[in-house]
């Protein structure tokens, strides 16, 4: 039962352009939403988060948008850089503990 879904397994963008990664969820009890970034042979690392009381959170080149009515969130990276190439996981939690992850989207930023 995939409560968090990332329907695009891969995304390729040109350096300097915007990358938009999407995520949908089904559990209306989710209160916290996070994005993690994973490089090969490493564990995922936290990137940015948003709580359900907000609809946008920005940190430098990274912005996360949350649409609770649509149960949808997205991560925008602008401008995209080759070093951003990684697998991005969307995650959601109802209580800061039971965190569920999507299947991931592999982002490739071409120079």
Partner 1 sequence: DAGVIQSPRHEVTEMGQEVTLRCKPISGHNSLFWYRQTMMRGLELLIYFNNNVPIDDSGMPEDRFSAKMPNASFSTLKIQPSEPRDSAVYFCASAGGGSMTGELFFGEGSRLTVL
Interface residue list for partner 1 (CB under 8 A) = 2, 6, 32, 34, 36, 41-46, 49, 51, 89, 91, 93, 96-104
Instruction: Using the minimum distance from each CB to partner 1, give the nearer residue, 15 or 52.
Output: 52
Instruction: Using the minimum distance from each CB to partner 1, give the nearer residue, 22 or 49.
Output: 49
Neighbouring-strand partners of residue 57: 64
Distances (CA, A) of 61 to 17, 25, 27, 57: 11, 24, 28, 11
Neighbouring-strand partners of residue 37: 45, 88
CB of 14 to partner 1, least distance (A): 26
CB of 77 to partner 1, least distance (A): 19
CB of 46 to partner 1, least distance (A): 5
Distances (CA, A) of 55 to 43, 49, 71, 93, 109: 28, 11, 11, 16, 26
């Amino acid at each position: 039962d995939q409560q968090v879904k990332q329907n695009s397994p891969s995304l390729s963008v040109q350096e300097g352009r915007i990358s938009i990664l999407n995520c949908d969820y089904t559990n209306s009890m989710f209160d916290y939403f996070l994005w993690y970034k994973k490089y090969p042979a490493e564990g995922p690392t936290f990137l940015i988060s948003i709580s359900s009381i907000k609809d946008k959170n920005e940190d430098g080149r990274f912005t996360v948008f949350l649409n609770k009515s649509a149960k949808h969130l997205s991560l925008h990276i602008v401008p995209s850089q080759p070093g951003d190439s990684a697998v991005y996981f969307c995650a959601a939690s109802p209580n800061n503990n039971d965190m569920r992850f999507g299947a991931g989207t592999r982002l490739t930023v071409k120079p």
